[in-house]
Amino acid sequence: MNMYDNPATVAHSFDENYLSPYLIQAQWAECIALKAVIYELANRLQRPISILDIGVGSGRVIQNLHDIPEIWQHVAHYTGTDNAVLCLDLASKMVNTLGITDKVTLIQMDAVHLQELTATFDLVICTWFTPGNFYPDDFDFENYPKSFQKLDLSKNPKFTAIFSQAYSLLVPQGEIVLGACYKDNEATRFKQEFSYKKMGMTVITAPRDSFTATLERFWSQRFTKEKLISYLSFVPVDCISFHDLDTYEYAFQVRVKKQ
């Protein structure tokens, strides 16, 4: 079962009544930062841009961009992928309601299979902490609480595989935007745990861990700049930049530029 295969989990994840203020405000902060990237990239390329969204979820980003005509005019086409049918159903209903099926394509796909896409893109995005959701296939949600061995995340092969594929889909001068990403510190860990408990989940991880997981199969990693640079080793370091989304060390946006 994937993170978003549970109807209750999906309902709570997209209902602000179940979200912490930190999650809600990070959502808007990353949207503002993303709009700036789209405007900048479209002006740099001197044309509307094509966007690939890894983990499109409910389609919230599509609607937020669509609702601002001055930004939506800079989007030539928007492709959203997700491995969760329940999420794609929500996104599809929203796209149909907005009447933008000519400009938006939704695809059920696990992110590890991005190489199956034949198109190239000007911008690849992965939003609202989704970059931290790519956990090892053998992670044992049922027994991890009983283990005394800390999970080694000095490497995350799945993360690296996904975003190296995404990088290969970029046109020259294109970008990957990861935002938001949790910062790895104690205060953020407490905020993550509070968020999941507010959704009715049971946290199974400990302070030693650089991620937070729940019995309900939610898994979300926190990052340092150094760790992300290591995971993105296929990119020149000077093409990776970090941009804070708040003043309290909670989240940042990561931009990866292709030369």
Q: Are strands 121-127 and 170-183 parallel, antiparallel or unpaired?
A: parallel
Over the chain, what is the mean pLDDT?
94
Query: Does the pLDDT value for residue 120 go beyond 90?
Result: yes
Residue 145: which pLDDT band, with cuts at 50, 70 and 90? confident
Q: Which residue is associated with the tokens 């109807």? A: 7
User: Helices 186-198 and 21-45, interaxial angle, to 10°?
Assistant: 110
CATH architecture designation of domain 7-142+153-184+222-257: 3-Layer(aba) Sandwich (3.40)
231-251 residue pLDDT tens: 999 999 999 999 999 999 999
Average pLDDT of 153-182? 98
Quick one: what percent of the chain has pLDDT higher than 70? 93
Report H helices in 47-176. 60-66, 69-72, 85-98, 157-168
DSSP 181: E
According to the model, what pLDDT value does residue 10 have?
Answer: 61
Q: Tell me which long-range contacts 60-67 makes (C-beta under 8 A, separation of at least 24).
A: 60/14, 60/27, 60/128, 61/31, 61/34, 61/125, 61/127, 62/91, 62/94, 62/95, 62/98, 62/100, 62/104, 63/94, 63/98, 64/31, 65/34, 65/35, 65/38, 66/98, 66/100
Instruction: Please say whether the beta carbons of 201 and 216 come within 8 A.
Output: yes
Domain extent listing, the chain: 7-142+153-184+222-257
13-65 residue pLDDT tens: 667 777 899 999 999 999 999 999 999 999 999 999 999 999 999 999 999 99
According to the model, what pLDDT value does residue 59 have?
Answer: 96
